[in-house]
């Protein structure tokens, strides 16, 4: 899809990790695929490079390795670099923003300010942009984490909201840009097949897992002040949950979808802190072995306090208090240094009410839908079938939809989709302020309870599936985490 008007994409934090690994590669890929207007410009803003030549040198030596998907065509790359301008700017000096305004003068089309910086800079940058009139008719993109708790996120949203209207603000949750998450909407609302079953009468439980093999990498300091609940649950997992559980929206326009997600977030059963040990497990990884490689304990990672009580694993039992889902447990789980990198949604259907065919048909999980978000995106439906031969012996079989076998076009990276959406003014895949507030409001009692507790997180060896307590929590409901190689 070719957009006709030009744009100026101003990238704050132009030499940061995110720009290097995600944003510039995604822009390159969109450029390579012919999805960017030929009048589109990228204006990188940073402190480190002295001038444009210095910045381009940095891009050449740092970004190229992350540009892999479509391969790097040197001619295309050179034309991509021609789009890039550079403004050296000290964010601590609001007067430098006059330089930026002058540099943007004469650039027509949509104006996007992407803040790939720490959240402490969001408000100063917005104020400085407003002081030189650059907030008008512009879009602002805010990266997570947006705040540390409800109060700090409200403070940022209030201050940014004085400068930009809500429909100018694009809060990124990159999970919403992932192709399989989009596919979940297609699966649920494009097929008559699943919707009648997608409710308490037929669904016994739902699991959502985002497991990582990676540890905290170079972000020990940030992570130690954040933890898995803030880093993954408040945003990615609750967003996935809201898409799995939402009512069919009347259209795919941004507010219809976001209104329905919000209803789910507001219907989450409030945390009763007296039950916290029954509905929430937190863990921290110790040393261990992942795919044959020894990895150190979290507490010895660079930037992490040796006595840290920060959780690197969370498992939760969540309930949704509405007609569709009352009484159905949703089990959420995320962790670093787990046995495998996998993100998936598992819908366990109830067994048949009466089986004339014997016990297997009564087994929970006999019918199960597994939506694998990564890696190897696929949808797998488990059913029972008769084994060939004499007698009526049932076996578990599955119907598979592996996207890479069906569709020849490669999948679009989450950041590429989201950046194109910002440039094209599509808000549906960005988190609205009220959604974010509802999510913070729900997680906060857990955060507070854990902060007040003197019990440390439960240890687990790196390379395993987390503390045993996470499995025990599901066992109480007669179920277990689905952990199988795909």
The residue among 128 and 342 lying less far from ligand BG6, judged by its C-beta, is 342
Q: How far is CA 337 from CA 23, 46, 447, 462, in A?
A: 25, 33, 22, 5
**Residue 212 engages ligand BG6 in binding (rule: CB under 6 A):** yes
Only one residue has tokens 């030009």, namely 6
Which of these, 77, 82, 83, lies nearest to 32 by C-alpha position?
A: 77
Residue nearest to ligand BG6 (CB): 231
Q: Could you give the string, one character per residue 228-247, with x where binding to ligand BG6 holds by CB under 6 A and - elsewhere? A: ---x----------------
Q: What angle do CA 37, 40, 43 make, to 5 degrees?
A: 160
The residue among 7 and 415 lying less far from ligand BG6, judged by its C-beta, is 415
Q: Give yes or no: 174 in active site.
A: no
**Residue 413 engages ligand BG6 in binding (rule: CB under 6 A):** no
Give CA 433 to chain center in angstroms: 16
The span from the CA of 459 to the CA of 312, in Å, is 10
Q: Could you give the string, one character per residue 124-163, with x where binding to ligand BG6 holds by CB under 6 A and - elsewhere? A: --------------------x-------------------
Tokens encoding 393: 């012996």
C-beta of residue 264 within 8 angstroms of C-beta of residue 208: no
Q: Which of 31, 236, 286, 354 is catalytic?
A: 236
Tokens encoding 75: 């001619």
Tokens encoding 227: 């933890």
Give the shortest CB-144-to-ligand BG6 separation in angstroms.
6
Give the shortest CB-343-to-ligand BG6 separation in angstroms.
6
The residue among 343 and 346 lying less far from ligand BG6, judged by its C-beta, is 343
Give the shortest CB-175-to-ligand BG6 separation in angstroms.
7
C-beta of residue 237 within 8 angstroms of C-beta of residue 332: yes
Residues in 56-95 that interact with ligand BG6 by CB under 6 A: none
The residue among 144 and 188 lying less far from ligand BG6, judged by its C-beta, is 144
Give the shortest CB-231-to-ligand BG6 separation in angstroms.
5
Give the shortest CB-215-to-ligand BG6 separation in angstroms.
10
Tokens encoding 11: 């990238």
Which is it for strands 138-142 and 110-115: parallel, antiparallel or unpaired?
Answer: parallel
Which is it for strands 288-290 and 293-295: parallel, antiparallel or unpaired?
Answer: antiparallel
Cis link prior to 186 (omega < 30° from 0)? no
**Residue 340 engages ligand BG6 in binding (rule: CB under 6 A):** no
Residues of this chain that bind ligand BG6 (CB under 6 A)? 144, 212, 231, 343
Catalytic residue numbers, as ranges = 236
């Amino acid at each position: 899809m070719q957009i006709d008007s030009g744009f100026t994409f101003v990238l704050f934090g132009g030499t940061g990790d995110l720009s290097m690994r995600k944003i510039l590669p995604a822009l390159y890929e969109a450029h390579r695929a012919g999805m960017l207007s030929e009048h589109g410009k990228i204006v990188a803003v940073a402190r480190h490079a002295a001038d444009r030549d210095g910045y381009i040198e940095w891009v050449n030596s740092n970004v190229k390795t992350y540009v892999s998907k479509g391969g790097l065509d040197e001619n295309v790359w050179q034309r991509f670099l021609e789009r890039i301008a550079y403004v050296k700017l000290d964010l601590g000096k609001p007067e430098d923003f006059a330089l930026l305004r002058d540099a943007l003068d004469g650039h027509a089309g949509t104006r996007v300010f992407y803040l790939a910086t720490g959240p402490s800079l969001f408000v100063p940058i917005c104020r400085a942009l407003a002081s030189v009139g650059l907030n008008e008719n512009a879009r602002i993109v805010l990266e997570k984490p947006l705040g540390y708790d409800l109060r700090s996120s409200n403070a940022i949203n209030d201050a940014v909201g004085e400068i930009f209207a809500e429909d100018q603000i694009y809060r990124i949750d990159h999970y919403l840009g992932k192709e399989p998450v989009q596919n979940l909407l297609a699966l649920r609302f494009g097929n008559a097949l699943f919707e009648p079953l997608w409710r308490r009468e037929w669904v016994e439980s739902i699991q959502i897992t985002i497991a990582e093999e990676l540890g905290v990498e170079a972000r020990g300091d940030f992570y130690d002040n954040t933890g898995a609940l803030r880093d993954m649950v408040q945003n990615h997992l609750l967003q996935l949950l809201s898409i799995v559980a939402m009512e069919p929206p009347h259209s795919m326009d941004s507010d219809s979808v976001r209104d329905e997600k919000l209803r789910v977030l507001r219907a989450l059963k409030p945390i009763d802190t007296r039950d916290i040990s029954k509905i929430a497990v937190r863990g921290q990884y110790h040393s261990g072995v992942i795919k044959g490689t020894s990895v150190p304990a979290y507490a010895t990672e660079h930037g992490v306090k040796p006595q840290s009580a920060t959780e690197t694993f969370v498992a939760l039992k969540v309930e949704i208090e509405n007609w569709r889902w009352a009484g159905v447990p949703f089990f959420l789980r995320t962790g670093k240094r787990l046995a495998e990198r996998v993100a998936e949604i598992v819908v366990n259907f109830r067994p048949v009410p009466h089986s004339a065919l014997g016990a297997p048909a009564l087994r929970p999980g006999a019918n199960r839908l597994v939506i694998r978000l990564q890696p190897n995106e696929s949808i797998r439906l488990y059913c029972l079938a008769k084994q060939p031969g004499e007698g009526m012996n049932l076996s578990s079989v599955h119907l598979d939809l592996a996207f890479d076998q069906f569709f020849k076009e490669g999948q679009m990276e989450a950041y590429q989709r989201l950046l194109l959406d910002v440039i094209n003014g599509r808000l549906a895949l960005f988190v609205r302020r009220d959604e974010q507030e509802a999510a913070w409001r729900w997680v906060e009692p857990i955060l507070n309870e854990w902060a007040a507790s003197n019990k440390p997180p439960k240890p687990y060896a790196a390379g395993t599936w987390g503390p045993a307590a996470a499995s025990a929590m599901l066992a109480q409901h007669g179920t277990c985490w689905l952990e199988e190689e795909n």
